[in-house]
Amino acid sequence: MAERHDVVIIGAGPAGLAAAIYAARARLRTLVLDESIPGGQVKTTHKVSNYPGFAQDVEGAALAAAFAAQAQRFGADVRRAVEITKHDLASPVKTLELDEEETVEARAVIVATGARPRPLGVPGEDVFKGRGLSYCATCDGAYFEGKDIHVIGGGNSAVEESLFLTQFARTVTIVHQFQEFQAEPASAQEALAHPKIRVLFGHEPRAFHGEKALERLEVEDLRTHERKQLRTDGVFVFIGMVPRTELLAPYLELEPGGYVETTDGMETKIPGLYVAGDLRVKRFRQITTAVADGTVAALAAQKYLRAG
């Protein structure tokens, strides 16, 4: 027998947990599924400075835990480390097989699976993942105490995470393809003034080299096309995100870049199927916009369920 719910939310980031808070508070039987622990990208962010309600910076992990605790307080069942092994999201009653062991059903499903770090796609990247190459400063920064490391990117994430990494590393060299940062001016100025941070503008990574672990980063000067290998103890990559829409690909036509088009109510063309958060087509992707998406999706799902 399949376990029946009113709404199943796939993804426990800010969008998914906001949806869970609203759905559970409306007394809908709410199940939240995540392949990891709740929090999405927020849980790997060392500090959040622009989320309303906090006069001081808040640790990303603490904010994520608060979101999850609030959803559970209202009765949402939040399950972690769950793999969806089969799914039918097109039928009036949607079904999901979990870990090849159990099946859950719901008339409404909200997909809020977010995004993953965008890979560079250069030689050696797959070889050195977890062996000196990382996409998460909060996860791995402490392993580089007193080391000389490099950061790839020049947007907000790259610059802010570089500042975070200075508390561990001896030096942090930012490698950026343009001649100036794309980050917010305040963060960019702080990075440029930091004694531990060096910047290599106008360069792009071309390969990673090493024996058992990463030892050298190969870069190209975009002006002269000269290539050189930089000695490094580790590299962190922050060049944007890729939407995690694999679950939706069999059911929906994806926009260029892999994003999903929805209505203002987070609805898709399939009745009862909603999409919220960073995998939607939208102009800005912030914690606050993800929370707003989750709120709207839950309210729309509530209206749909009570109409039928």
pLDDT in tens, 7-18: 999 999 999 999
Confidence of residue 308 (pLDDT cuts 50, 70, 90): confident
Among the listed residues 112, 121, 191, the one whose alpha carbon sits nearest the alpha carbon of residue 157: 191
Q: CB neighbours (10 Å) of residue 11? A: 30
* % of the chain at pLDDT higher than 70: 100
Confidence of residue 41 (pLDDT cuts 50, 70, 90): confident
What pLDDT is stored for residue 182 in this prediction? 95
Q: Which residues lie closer than 8 Å to 39 by C-beta, 6 or more apart?
A: 12, 13, 60, 61, 63, 64, 65, 67, 68
Give the strand pairing for 148-152 and 234-237. Answer: parallel
CB 227 within 8 A of CB 98: no
What pLDDT is stored for residue 128 in this prediction? 96
What pLDDT is stored for residue 150 in this prediction? 98
Confidence of residue 48 (pLDDT cuts 50, 70, 90): confident
What pLDDT is stored for residue 223 in this prediction? 97
Confidence of residue 204 (pLDDT cuts 50, 70, 90): very high
Backbone angles phi, psi at 216, to 5 degrees: -140, 140
What pLDDT is stored for residue 251 in this prediction? 97
pLDDT tens digits, one per residue of 91-150: 999 999 999 999 999 999 999 999 999 999 999 999 999 999 999 898 889 999 999 999
Q: Is the pLDDT of residue 63 over 90?
A: yes
What pLDDT is stored for residue 168 in this prediction? 97
- Spell out the SS3 assignment of the chain: CCEEEEEEEECCCHHHHHHHHHHHHCCCCEEEECCCCCCHHHHHCCCECCCCCCCCCECHHHHHHHHHHHHHHCCCEEECCCCEEEEECCCCCEEEEECCCEEEEEEEEEECCCEEECCCCCCCHHHHECCCEECCHHHHHHHHCCCEEEEECCCHHHHHHHHHHCCCCCEEEEEECCCCCCCCHHHHHHHHHCCCEEEEECEEEEEEEECCCEEEEEEEECCCCCEEEEECCEEEECCCEEECCCCCCCCCCCCCCCCECCCCCCECCCCCEEECCCCECCCCCCHHHHHHHHHHHHHHHHHHHHHC
Per-residue burial over 79-99, b = 16 or more CB atoms within 10 Å of its CB, e = otherwise = eeebebeebebeeeebbbbbe
Q: Is the pLDDT of residue 44 over 90?
A: no
Confidence of residue 283 (pLDDT cuts 50, 70, 90): confident
Backbone angles phi, psi at 149, to 5 degrees: -125, 165
Average pLDDT, the chain: 95
Residues with a known catalytic role: 136, 139-140
pLDDT tens digits, one per residue of 149-189: 999 999 999 999 999 999 999 999 999 999 999 999 999 99
What pLDDT is stored for residue 139 in this prediction? 83
In terms of C-beta density within 10 A (0-12 exposed, 13-18 middle, 19 or more buried), how is residue 253 classed? exposed
In terms of C-beta density within 10 A (0-12 exposed, 13-18 middle, 19 or more buried), how is residue 165 classed? buried
